[in-house]
Structure 1
Amino acid sequence: MKLFAVLLLSIFLSKSCEGQTKNDLKTAVLEYSANTRGFYQKITIQDQMVTISKDRSGNDKLVSTKISEKDWKELEVYFETINLDSLETLKAPTEKRFHDGAAIANLDVQYKDKTYQTTSFDHGYPPEAIKKLIDKINTFAKKE
């Protein structure tokens, strides 16, 4: 009987811990920005909607577009795998932004009343840990 109780308790605890480690995209706001002297792009994702701005002064008319179920599910999978606490320590794989070879990019995540930010990296060359998420986010700007 004791063995059964220990086994049941172990299964219960492992399942409850499992649910806590996943990030929930439904309650998050993702902001990806990339800019140089002549280029600006900000992509905001919230509540299955995407908004794209190409005017750094904020004077452009923002239009939110619904993200398809397929794209949303893909984003959720990528977001769940990210360790938000490690975003600020991710190392950029390239340094083209230092000599105008690429736009300077950043990812900000607002999740559970806290903001997580990456250090700057090259637009088009994100750190490996967030590459799939960033690449997916950028597909929305290409559709426009």
Structure 2
Amino acid sequence: MKILSLLFLTIFLGKSCDSAKAQDIETAVIEYEANTRGFYQKITVKNQMVTISKDRDGYDKPAPKKISDADWKELVECFKTLELDSLATLKAPTEKRFYDGAAIAHLKITYKDKPYETTSFDHGFPPKQIKKFVNKINSFAKKE
């Protein structure tokens, strides 16, 4: 009986830890912004909803859209692999933004009321450590 209860408790605690990890992204606010002189895009992800704005001045108030369960699951998996404390030290792989070859992009994640932000990088060419995550966020804008 002790073995059975120990097995049940282990499974129960293991499942609750997984669900706690999945809950983490639900409390986070993810903001991806890319802009040049003639282009602006801000993607905000919060609690399985995405908002995409193309208005730099903030006059446009786009309606949030629900992220599909499959896309959300993939985003959660990518989020788990991020090292938030190292975001500020990531090096951009290209420098096209210096001569208008690419939009200037930033990623900001507010997690547990603490902001984590990358340095600027080229839109479409994120640092390899966050590439999968950034590409997933950008895929929401392509579906629009």
Partner amino acid for 1:42?
Answer: K
Deviations 1:12-64 (Å, cap 9, x if unpaired)?
xxx8xx87xx5821110000000000000000000100000000000112110
The aligned runs of 1:34-113 (5 Å cut-off) are: 34-113=34-113
Deviations 1:102-140 (Å, cap 9, x if unpaired)?
000000000011000000000000000000000000011
Partners of 2:48 and 2:65 in 1: how far apart?
A: 9
Report % sequence identity: 68
Secondary structure at 1:129's aligned position in 2? coil
Secondary structure at 1:116's aligned position in 2? strand
- TM-score w.r.t. the length of structure 2 is 0.84
Partner amino acid for 1:121?
Answer: F
Q: 2:30: which partner in 1?
A: 30
Q: Tell whether 2:137 aligns with 1:131.
A: no
Paired positions, count = 127
Partners of 1:142 and 1:113 in 2: how far apart?
A: 29
Secondary structure at 2:77's aligned position in 1? helix
The aligned runs of 1:2-17 (5 Å cut-off) are: none
Structure 1 vs Structure 2 CA RMSD: 1.6
Unaligned runs of 5+ in 1: 1-10
Q: Tell whether 2:116 aligns with 1:116.
A: yes
- TM-score w.r.t. the length of structure 1 is 0.84
